[in-house]
Structure 1
Amino acid sequence: MSLLNREVFWPPADELIEVAERIRARLGDWPAAETRWRICLTAPESPKADDLIVFTEPHDADIDRLAKSGAALVEAHGGRVTLRRGEERFALEGEWSDDWLAALAAFLDCNFEPHDALTLALAWRAGDEKKDDAWPVDFATFPRVADLPAAPEGGFAPCTDRLGLYPVLPDAEWVERVLDLGVRTAQLRRKSTDASDLQREIARSVEAGRRHDAQLFINDHWREAIAAGAYGVHLGQEDVQTADLNAIAKAGLRLGLSTHGYYEMLRALHFRPSYLALGAVFPTTTKVMPTKPQGLARLGRYVQLLSGRVPLVAIGGIDAKVMPDVLATGVGSAAVVRAVTEAVDAAAAVSSLQQMFARQR
C-alpha cells in the first residue's frame, strides 16, 4: 500500500509524495494498481504510455506530440480540469484543494482509472485524512462535468426510490412470466434489428407491465418505447449522445442510465435521470463491458455518495449467492439476468431473490 520507493512524481517531489503517502494510508485496502502511473509535473522529453502529464498553467507544449506517445494529459487552471487520454476527453469544473495532485496519486494507487481518480482528487479537501472516514463522500465537494448539453427541462418522471428485484429479460414471454410471479420492476433487453419483431415484443411487454402495474423499462429502443407508451427506457452512456432525451422526457417516460464509475455518475446526474445503474459489480458474460468489474467496495462507496439523491440499481454478474453482499451496501435495487433466465426453476429463483429484498426492509 506504500507509495514510497517508486517513481510516482517526475521530477521527484518529496513534499508531494509525503502528502500522497499520508492520504493513501487513510483510504483503506484496495487492489494493487494495474498501472503504475507516473505523474509528470513537467513534460518529459520521451513520455511513456503510463505517464500522466500535468499542466497547471497556460502553456505552449506540443499537446498532439505528447498525446501520440500514449501519455495521458491533464490541464488544470481557471477552475477547469481537462483530461485527455487518446481520443477521449474528460472535462471537469469546480474548486479543488492544494493537495489535489497528491490525492490524485493516492487514488491512482487504489486502482481507479485516471478519469475517476481525477474526479476523486478534485473532491478531496485538505484535512480529510484526519477524519474517521477519509473517503470523499460529501457530494458538495465533487466537481461538475463540463461541456454537456442542457438537460431536459424538469428532468424525467420519478420512479420509486427502491426498485427492488430487477430482472433484465430477453423477450416478452419472459417479461410476462416474471411479472406473473410478482416482480414489479423489469427490463426488456431485446437484441434484434428486425423492426417488426421489436415493435411486437415491446408492445407485448408494455401491455404486460400495464396489466401488472409494473415498472417496465425498455433497453435502448427509446423511439419504440415512446410509441408503445412504455413506463421507461434504459440507456447506456454512449446513447446519451444520440438519443433525444427531450422527446423521452416530454413523453413522460422514466429514464435509467448506466454508469461505470465516479465520472460517469456525475455525467449521468446532469441529465436528472429517474435512476442510475451502477456496474458492472462482478464479471458478466451477458454483454461486453467497457470497464473492469467495480466490486463491492466501490459499490458501497457509490451508494454512500448517492443514496437519497437518486434511486440506485446494482448490475452485472449478480446472482443469489452474492445478492446478500450486494444488498448489504444499502443499494435499493439489483438487476439480474442469468439468475432468473438460466435458473432450473425460475419461480423458485424469483421467490428466493424476492425474500432477500424483503429481509432488507
Structure 2
Amino acid sequence: MTRTLTLRDRDLFWPPADELTEATERIRASLGDWPPTHAPWRICLTAPDEPNGGDLIVIADAQQHGEQVARWQLRGAGVIEAAQERAALHLGGVTWRLEGHLPEDWIAALAAFLDCGFDPHDALVLALAWRDGDETRVTDVTDTKGDTFDAFPADLSRFPRLANLPAAPAQPFPSCPSRLGLYPVLPSADWVERIAGLGVKTIQFRHKSAEPVDPLRRDIARCVAAGRRHDAHVFINDHWQAALEAGAYGVHLGQEDLDTADLAALAAGGIRVGLSTHGFYEILRALHYRPSYLAVGAVFPTTTKVVATAPQGLRRLARYVRLLDGVVPLVAIGGIDLQTLPDVLATGVGCAAVVRAVTDAADVAAAVSALQHTFTQ
C-alpha cells in the first residue's frame, strides 16, 4: 500500500486547489503501489493562459467554447467536457465519449488514476467508475491469495457506458471455453497443422503479408481442416470473410476491425469472435459487441506486432481478470514466454497467447510440452 505520496509537490491542478489535492492523495493511497507516471498531467479547472501538452482542461460544454477548444488542442492540450451524466475527452484529434454517474470526487479520482500511469481516456473511465468514499472503506486485511484489499474499481455495473456506439448484433457471439489454455499465434498453415498435431487445442492463424486472395483462402481452409482433424479451436486473424466461407471455428479481430467487419454476418454464421483490447475503454467498447473472448495486452514488450499503447504489465492484467471474472474469457497476449508464463497465470487469467515462444523454439515439441505443463501446475 502506498504510504508516502509526493502529489503536493506537483502541479496537479490549475488553479491550485488544496482540497482537491487532499482528496486525490486519499484516493491515490487507496489504489496501491503503481509505477510512477511518466506523463505529468495537470487538470485545469479554468483554462490557463498558455495551455500545453500536459494540460487537461475541464469544461461543461465544448460548443460554448467553440474556437477555443480547437486552439487548446492545437497546442497539445486535452479537453474534458463533463456535465449531466456525460463526459467526453477530446485529445489528439480523438474523442472518447462516456455516459454514467459523475461522482463528486471524479476530478480527484481522475488525478489519482493519472498518477497511477493510466492514459487519460482510461483514467476517465476509472474516474467515472469511482464512488465517493470508497477510499474510506479500505482495510489492510489480506485475502487467501495474500492480496491487500483496496478501492480500485472492480464492479462492472459501476463502470460508465460508451456513447454513440453502433448497434451490436442481435445475438451474442457463441461462447468458447472459459479457460482456453495455451494459445499459439502462428504465421502459416504449415505451423497450424504442426502445432495442432502436437495436441494444442487453441490456435490462431495470423497471416499479415499481402498474399493473393486465392492462396490465402487455401491456407485458411487448411487451418480449418486441421482444427477439425485434431479437435482444436482454430481462430483466423482479420480475414473474417474467408474464415466465414471456410466455416472456421472463430475469428480474431482488432479494435480497428470493429468499424469494417460485418459483425452481424459473423454472428448469424455462428462463428466465435475474439477482440483485442488495450485498456479499460477498449474493454468497454469490446464488451458492447458481446464477443466470445477478449484479448488483453500487450502484457510485456513485444517485437511481433506494432502496438500503440505501452505494455500493460501484470498489475493491470490482474485488474482486468478481477473485473471480468465470470463475464467473458480473457486471453493475455504480448511478450509472454516460458519464463514469464507462471507470473501471467498467477493473475488468474485462463489463457495466454504466445508467438516466438513456439515459432523460435529450437525444439518445438519440447517447448509446447513445457508451456502446456505450466498450465497444469
- List runs of 5+ in structure 1 lacking aligned partners: none
Match of 1:2 among 6, 10, 16: 6
- Equivalent residue letter for 1:252: G
Q: State the distance in 2 between where 1:34 and 1:199 align.
A: 45
3-state SS of 1:48 partner: coil
- Equivalent residue letter for 1:24: R
User: Are the counterparts in 2 of residues 152 and 245 from structure 1 also a CA contact under 8 Å?
Assistant: yes
1:190 aligns with 2:207: yes
- Equivalent residue letter for 1:64: A
Specify the alignment match of 2:250 in structure 1.
232
User: Are the counterparts in 1 of residues 86 and 102 from structure 2 also a CA contact under 8 Å?
Assistant: no
Q: Deviations over 1:24-54 (max 9, x none)?
A: 1111111111110010001122211110001
Q: Deviations over 1:191-235 (max 9, x none)?
A: 232212211110100000111121100000000100111001000
Q: State the distance in 1 between where 2:110 and 2:60 align.
A: 14
- Equivalent residue letter for 1:91: R
Q: State the distance in 1 between where 2:11 and 2:63 align.
A: 24
Specify the alignment match of 2:233 in structure 1.
215
User: Are the counterparts in 2 of residues 257 and 273 from structure 1 also a CA contact under 8 Å?
Assistant: yes
3-state SS of 2:7 partner: coil
Q: Aligned-pair RMSD on alpha carbons? A: 1.0
Specify the alignment match of 1:355 in structure 2.
373
Specify the alignment match of 1:110 in structure 2.
116
1:320 aligns with 2:343: no
Specify the alignment match of 1:21 in structure 2.
25
Specify the alignment match of 1:60 in structure 2.
64
Specify the alignment match of 2:197 in structure 1.
180
Equivalences for residues 332-347 of structure 1 within 5 A: 332-347=350-365
Specify the alignment match of 2:54 in structure 1.
50
Q: Deviations over 1:72-100 (max 9, x none)?
A: 11001121111011211101101121000
User: Are the counterparts in 2 of residues 192 and 198 from structure 1 also a CA contact under 8 Å?
Assistant: no
- Equivalent residue letter for 1:178: I
1:84 aligns with 2:90: yes
| Stretch of structure 1 that moved more, 35-44 or 309-318 | 35-44
Structure 1 residue 63, shift from structure 2 partner: 1.4
User: Are the counterparts in 1 of residues 62 and 69 from structure 2 also a CA contact under 8 Å?
Assistant: no
Identity, % of aligned pairs?
A: 63
Structure 1 residue 57, shift from structure 2 partner: 5.5
3-state SS of 2:183 partner: strand
Q: State the distance in 2 between where 1:274 and 1:90 align.
A: 24
Q: State the distance in 2 between where 1:76 and 1:328 align.
A: 38
Structure 1 stretches of 4+ with a deviation exceeding 2 A read: 56-60
Q: State the distance in 1 between where 2:271 and 2:329 align.
A: 16
Structure 1 residue 2, shift from structure 2 partner: 2.3
- List runs of 5+ in structure 2 lacking aligned partners: 140-149
User: Are the counterparts in 2 of residues 303 and 331 from structure 1 also a CA contact under 8 Å?
Assistant: yes
Match of 2:175 among 128, 138, 158: 158
- Equivalent residue letter for 1:125: R
- Equivalent residue letter for 2:35: P
**Equivalent residue pairs, number:** 359
TM-score, with normalisation over the residues of structure 1?
0.98
User: Are the counterparts in 1 of residues 277 and 297 from structure 2 also a CA contact under 8 Å?
Assistant: yes
Q: State the distance in 2 between where 1:14 and 1:214 align.
A: 59
- Equivalent residue letter for 2:24: A
Match of 1:201 among 219, 237, 254: 219
Structure 1 residue 58, shift from structure 2 partner: 6.9
| Stretch of structure 1 that moved more, 133-142 or 255-264 | 133-142
1:145 aligns with 2:151: no
3-state SS of 1:238 partner: helix
3-state SS of 1:60 partner: helix
Specify the alignment match of 1:33 in structure 2.
37
